[in-house]
Amino acid sequence: MPETKPEVSPSVEQDSQLSRIAFKAPVFWENDSELWFFQVESQFVIAGISNDSTKFQAVVAALDSNVLSCVRDIVRNPPLENAYIALKDRVLQYFAQSSSASLNLLLKDLQLGDKRPSHLLSEMRNHAPAKMEDDILHIVAKAFTS
């Protein structure tokens, strides 16, 4: 008996193709590249994009010339496997804030202003170096509110 493939209705196939065509990544956020990649990857899921090459090309198309110049070698000569991951890792590495810059922002630039203390604490968590304990953030937040 010959193998038969399950039939996909034309409308489902067209919807899938349209979502891939309609995919448009947001403008790159240099100040929060990690969060930008989370958003782009969510859009990949919604659009049904799972192919590494398609992801790579979509991200390259979304990046401006300043960012592309930082990853020129990968764009011009992408690895044969996991090109998207290589590009993502390089962009994240290049645009990630150093721990000292994050701590400096945390201690000098954040202000309570008219924010609620819980909002300030949330903002501090977003800017804190990854290894900073939550207890320390609470102490610093209290200093802002005193």
pLDDT tier, 102 (very low <50, low <70, confident <90, very high otherwise): low
- The confidence band for 8, taking pLDDT boundaries of 50, 70 and 90, is very low
Cβ contacts of 137 within 8 Å, gap of 6 or more: 121, 124, 125, 128
Predicted pLDDT of residue 29? 85
Is residue 47 pLDDT above 80, yes or no? yes
pTM exceeds 0.75, yes or no: no
Confidence of residue 15 (pLDDT cuts 50, 70, 90): very low
* pLDDT band with cut points at 50, 70 and 90 for residue 64: very high
Residue 137 has a pLDDT of 55
Helices (H), 4-133: 10-22, 33-47, 52-62, 65-70, 72-76, 83-95, 99-104, 117-127
pLDDT of 79 reads 95
- Average pLDDT (114-125) is 61
Cα distance between residue 110 and residue 91, in whole Å: 26
Instruction: Indicate whether 74 pLDDT > 70.
Output: yes
Query: Closest Cα partner for 90 from 37, 135, 132, 42?
Result: 37
